Amino acid sequence: MKKKIMSYLLTGALLTFVLAGCGGSAGNSGNSAASTADSVAQTEASTPAPADTSAAAQTTEAEPEPEAPAAEPVTLRIAYMPNYAALWAVTTAREKGFFEEEGITVELTEFADGPTEIAAMESGSIDLSYIGPGAHRLCATGNAEVFLLQQLGDADCVIGLKSKGVESLEDLKGKTVAYASGTSSEQILSLALESVGLTMDDIEAYDMDTTNMVTAAISGSVDALATWSPYSLTIMEELGDDAIKFCSNVSFSDVTVTPASWVCTPAYADENPEILVRFIRAMYKAMDYGSKEENMQEVAGFVAEQCKTDVDAAYEQRGDGSWFTKDRVIAAAKDGSMVEYYTLQQNQFIAAEKVDAATAIDPADFVLTELMIQAGE
């Protein structure tokens, strides 16, 4: 029992000592508790709170994505023919700043026809070319590849002179007819003759540059002509009632189509697909803009400025084709109808013995639909 009492006394003494050491007695225990609370609060304040990893607490602003590097500037040497069909989209892309957005500078050079343009590409003096229907036979022989379908044309026609006794296609027999070999001029003439049971052997075919046909018609040195806009428009205007337009591309839409395209050499396509995609992207914007009727007067101004001709004359050519848009190009590239256009055209070349069926390249191999699709993504 004494041991227990002594134990209690020792315990009490120790407790008193502890309380005194904490700076208070039983009489000021409230101040002691407050001091203790203050101490705990100070400790909590000085101790970092644990990180809140919940989704709601993650308010750190996302870092901005780095900007894509600007495309390397490139200058493209481009061949064109001096008419609305060739220039409506490319001049729009230049004047509206669409090429600039892609880091492209264009240098336009005028040519009389597609075969000459393709020869210039092969020599290295031209990078890209716009060609009309007739020159596509050189795609079948491996000289060029199509990387953009721009339109289906209706600019070619056959014109006869009444004063020369030509008032129908049948009257062409034995007559002197001007045409430009290897171009859409020859193609439309062959189709016209075939439609009335004639061939090139039934006429006096006069091969000449299209730029000389206006003079030939006015001077009376030919009886009829197979040409294209704007030369056809000038001839019809200059000769008035003496000139008769017998047919145009749409007259033969049941047997052939007349695509007009942007082409390059196979080597250029292999080495520069990224540049071609940039060019196509700019052209898509131009085609969407220029194909709208309300913008055609403005576009005619771009064409007239490039050709150094009258705006009204350029505007009259706005019906020379069925102008494509970005969506129409991509749809045709995806559903196979684009390759069908060029296949139908190639079959016409083969039938006219302008292309050898045994060696002709499949249009699926020279029409670069994958680039057209990629440019639209």
Cα separation, 8 vs 26, whole angstroms: 18
Give per-residue pLDDT as tens, 2-13.
333 334 333 333
342 contacts 365 by C-beta, under 8 angstroms: no
State the average pLDDT over residues 265-290: 98
Final residue in a domain of this structure, among 252, 285, 318? 252
Residue 185: pLDDT over 70: yes
270 and 364 inside one domain: yes
Final residue in a domain of this structure, among 233, 252, 271? 252
Residue 284: pLDDT over 50: yes
Cα separation, 237 vs 221, whole angstroms: 18
Show the tokens assigned to 227.
């040409």
- E strand spans, the chain: 74-80, 104-110, 128-131, 145-153, 156-161, 176-179, 204-207, 224-228, 243-248, 259-264, 321-323
Cα separation, 96 vs 208, whole angstroms: 37
Least confident span in 70-74, 96-100, 224-228, 361-365: 70-74
Q: What is the pLDDT of residue 255?
A: 83
Higher pLDDT, 26 or 311: 311
213 and 188 inside one domain: yes
137 contacts 354 by C-beta, under 8 angstroms: yes
Cα separation, 220 vs 76, whole angstroms: 41
State the average pLDDT over residues 185-203: 96
Residues ≥6 apart with Cβ < 8 Å to 247: 157, 158, 169, 188, 191, 192, 195
211 and 325 inside one domain: no
Q: Tell whether 41 is covered by a domain.
A: no
- Phi then psi dihedrals of residue 325, to 5 deg: -110, 175
Q: What is the CATH number of the domain that holds 335?
A: 3.40.190.10
Which residue range forms the structural domain that includes residue 201?
156-252
Domain count across the chain: 2
For the chain, give the mean pLDDT. 86
pTM exceeds cut of 0.85? no
Final residue in a domain of this structure, among 213, 237, 252? 252
269 and 128 inside one domain: yes
Q: Tell whether 34 is covered by a domain.
A: no
Q: What is the pLDDT of residue 63?
A: 62
State the average pLDDT over residues 67-82: 88
State the average pLDDT over residues 226-255: 93
Show the tokens assigned to 73.
């500037």
160 and 306 inside one domain: no
148 contacts 262 by C-beta, under 8 angstroms: yes
